[in-house]
């Protein structure tokens, strides 16, 4: 069996015990590989993550890199906090040389590539897979340097591939791939098949049986548009006390649950309707299916997303979603078919109109939810993502060596 070394960002561990979109996706997709044995490298924070540095889980071999608190402090002093990924990638490189994989698959973090090339040599195939738009913020010269170190580029949406690569480097199109994030459709099953868990979750958050639940899920940051949602919800709830708003998430997953100025502002916005707004804080990924199942409409008026894992998870559960007509969101939500796309994520009046339409048309809500579930099954399942990823690996292995 061929081998692939998958390198997660140096922020959170795999599996996603403290959250993380990339960590969640890896945990769902890698177990489904058929042709490749995955070796997953991730961060293990000293004193926080109670995980072994080496662990075998099914077909996956986990390698976790953990620096002690003193080592982390020394690294930050040495590199003035800007290069504290050096020891992480250097240690990974040493372990990769022992494994001798066929492919190295780097999630995000193009700045890992120079260290990997230094240790691994020119001929091992390296794929850089972006879940964010790093290259869009870099000069063409800088991006060209990173391109010289990789064999292929992957993005989590057609939008990401276009924005990051093809618009500026059309000659690189042949080594660009779109790999959508994959949803475990068995875990994120339709809410009409998960009523018992949904009822339990509603009781947990003191939501009455007849209440209609608007839900936000994601990081509590301004670019996610929660302030717009709160303004819209405030108008709706003042007229209809049977509407509840569930705001799920924290500033940066469980790793950083601090109350930022923005979160404090959200709490102030929620004050007039405080009896109808629930801030859950961080929810572990394993509990998210029941959170979706307890809700009725997902609303994330984000200013841009490369893909929008939350929209796909909600669709898998059968929720209609309201997002913004921006970025990769357009590839997940089909406007007026599986949900709605806002023209302006800052326009609370537009959002009020869309929410009211769904609330007043329960048959449409159900139809949108059913259509969303079918779309996930056809395009965004973990099985299809795993198959497409392995197909990419096989194609990259046919590329000529670099030397």
Write the pLDDT tens digit of every residue in 222-267. 999 999 999 999 999 999 999 999 999 988 766 555 689 999 999 9
pLDDT at 78 over 90: no
User: Would you state the pLDDT for residue 350?
Assistant: 98
Same fold, 2-182+382-396 and 191-379: yes
User: Would you state the pLDDT for residue 153?
Assistant: 98
Report the mean per-residue pLDDT for the chain. Answer: 92
Place of tokens 């003035």: 80
315-327: average pLDDT: 97
Q: List, as one string, the DSSP characters of 102-159.
A: SEEEEES-GGGHHHHHHHH-SSSEEEEEESS-SGGGS-HHHHHHHHTT-SEEEESSHH
| 322 HSE (CA, 13 A, CB side) | 29
Q: State the pLDDT confidence band at 82, using cuts at 50, 70 and 90.
A: very low
Say if residue 170 is exposed, middle or buried (CB neighbours under 10 Å; 0-12, 13-18, 19+).
exposed
The residue extents of the domains of the chain are 2-182+382-396, 191-379
Write the pLDDT tens digit of every residue in 99-150. 999 999 999 999 999 999 999 999 999 999 999 999 998 999 999 999 999 9
What CATH superfamily classification does 2-182+382-396 receive?
Answer: Glycogen Phosphorylase B; (3.40.50.2000)
pLDDT at 77 over 60: no
Place of tokens 């081998």: 3
Q: With residue 37 as reference, give the H or E element that holds it.
A: strand 36-43
- Identify which of 138, 135, 137, 176 has the alpha carbon closest to the alpha carbon of residue 157: 176
- In angstroms, the CA 390 to CA 192 distance is 33
Pair 308, 324: CB distance under 8 Å: no
Strands, sheet with 54-57, edge to edge from the N-terminal-most edge strand: 54-57, 60-65, 36-43, 2-7, 103-107, 125-130, 152-155, 176-178
- In angstroms, the CA 62 to CA 47 distance is 19
341-346: average pLDDT: 97
Tell me the CATH number of domain 191-379, given options 3.40.50.2000, 3.30.70.920, 1.10.10.10, 2.40.50.140: 3.40.50.2000
Tokens representing residue 220 in the block? 């509590």
């Amino acid at each position: 069996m061929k081998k692939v070394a998958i390198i997660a960002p140096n922020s959170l561990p795999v599996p996603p015990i403290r959250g993380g979109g990339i960590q969640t996706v890896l945990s769902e997709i890698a177990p489904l590989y058929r042709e490749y044995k995955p070796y997953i490298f991730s961060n293990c924070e000293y004193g926080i993550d109670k995980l072994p540095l080496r662990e075998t889980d099914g077909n996956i071999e986990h390698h976790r890199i953990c620096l002690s608190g003193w080592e982390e402090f020394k690294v930050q002093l040495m590199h003035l906090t800007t290069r504290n990924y050096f020891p992480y990638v250097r240690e990974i490189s040493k372990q990769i040389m022992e494994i001798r994989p066929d492919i190295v698959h780097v999630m995000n973090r193009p700045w890992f590539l120079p260290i990997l090339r230094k240790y691994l040599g020119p001929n091992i195939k390296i794929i850089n897979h972006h879940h964010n738009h790093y290259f869009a913020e870099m000069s063409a010269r800088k991006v060209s340097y990173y391109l010289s170190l990789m064999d292929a580029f992957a993005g989590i949406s057609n939008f990401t591939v276009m924005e990051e690569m093809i618009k500026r480097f059309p000659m690189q199109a042949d080594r660009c791939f779109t790999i959508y994030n994959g949803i475990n459709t068995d875990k994120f099953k339709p809410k009409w098949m998960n009523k018992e868990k949904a009822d339990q979750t509603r009781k947990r958050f003191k939501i009455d049986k007849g209440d209609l639940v608007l839900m936000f899920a994601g990081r509590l940051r301004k670019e996610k548009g929660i302030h717009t949602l709160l303004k819209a919800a405030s108008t709706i709830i003042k007229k209809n006390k049977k509407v509840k708003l569930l705001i799920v998430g924290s500033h940066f997953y469980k790793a950083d649950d601090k109350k930022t100025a923005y979160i404090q502002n959200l709490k102030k916005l929620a004050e007039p309707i405080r009896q109808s707004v629930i801030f859950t804080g961080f929810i572990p990924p394993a509990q998210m299916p029941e959170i979706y199942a307890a809700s009725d409409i997902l609303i994330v008026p984000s200013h841009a997303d490369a893909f929008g894992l939350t929209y796909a998870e909600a669709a898998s559960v059968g929720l209609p979603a309201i997002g913004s007509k921006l970025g990769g969101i357009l590839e997940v939500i089909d406007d007026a078919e599986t949900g709605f796309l806002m023209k302006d994520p800052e326009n609370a009046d537009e959002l009020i109109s869309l929410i009211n339409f769904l609330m007043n048309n329960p048959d449409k809500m159900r139809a949108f939810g059913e259509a969303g579930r079918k779309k996930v099954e056809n395009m965004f399942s973990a099985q299809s993502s795993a198959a497409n990823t392995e197909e990419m690996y096989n194609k990259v292995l046919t590329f000529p060596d670099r030397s």
